[in-house]
Amino acid sequence: MIVDFNLNEKDYMVDVPPDMRALDLIRDVLRLTGVKEGCGRGECGACTILVNGKPFNSCLLYAVKLNGKKVLTIEGLAQADGSLHPLQEAFLNEGAVQCGYCTPGMILSAKALLDENPSPEEEEIEEALSGNICRCTGYKKIVTAVKAGAKVMREKV
């Protein structure tokens, strides 16, 4: 089946088997490996992508469902000149990354939150990240980084 969609501001038309997951389309066919497979069962959030701005588990999503949609992965977050998104900067500055496996999903979930709610309370950040599991650092630095990123994003506007 043909999937005609926009990924990180580029249009793609790909022929996929109907039972292919969005995760496999993005990683194995389009070779964007920032999307990770953790549990493969919609529990860990390492495979999070944004579809029309909302977070989805790409391991539970059939690739054919992306038809006509706008998808963002971590590769699409930096500017064309390579300068990082404020959330990426904040994760680096705050030391919110250890092994890095959960990081793309964490940042994308955080972006979905901040696009809707630029000044979230700590509890709202925790709720927005509840579908993303980190097994290295704990969540304190991650939450701090989201707050710091939010501040920079607010000042830019």
Partner 1 sequence: MNYFFPSTVEEALGLASGASNPKYIAGGTDLSLQIRDGVFSPDTLIDLTCIGELKGITETGRGISIGAATTLSEVADSEVLPSTLIRGARLVGSPQIRSLGTIGGNICNASPCGDTLTPIIALGAILRTVSPSGLREIPAEDFFLGPKKTILKEREILKEVIIEKQFLRGSSFFKKIGRRELQSISQVNLALWLVMDKPEGVVSRIRVAVGSCAPVPLRAVKTEAFLEGKKLSDDAIDRGVAVLLSEISPVTDVRASLSYRKLVAGTFFREAMKEARDDSEA
Question: Do residues 6 and 73 lie in contact, with contact meaning Cβ atoms separated by under 8 Å?
Answer: no
Binding of residue 1 to partner 1 (CB under 8 A): yes
CB of 153 to partner 1, least distance (A): 19
Pairing of strands 54-57, 70-72: unpaired
Name which position in 33, 93, 119, 130 contacts partner 1 (CB under 8 A): 130
- The Cα 52–Cα 83 span in angstroms is 23
Cα 59 versus chain centre, distance: 13
How far apart (Å, rounded) are the C-alpha atoms in residues 3 and 71? 12
- Interaction pattern, residues 37-76, with partner 1; x per rule: CB under 8 A: ----xxx-x--x--x--xxxx--xxx-xx-x---------
Rule CB under 8 A: is residue 27 a binding residue for partner 1? Answer: no
Give me the half-sphere count of Cα atoms (radius 13 Å) on the Cβ side of residue 156. Answer: 10
77 touches 21 (CB < 8 A): no
Q: Does 142 bind partner 1 (CB under 8 A)?
A: no
Check residue 126 for interaction with partner 1 (CB under 8 A). Answer: yes
* 117 near partner 1, judged by CB under 8 A: no
Give the interface with partner 1 as residue ranges (CB under 8 A): 1, 18-19, 21, 41-43, 45, 48, 51, 54-57, 60-62, 64-65, 67, 109, 112, 126-128, 130-132
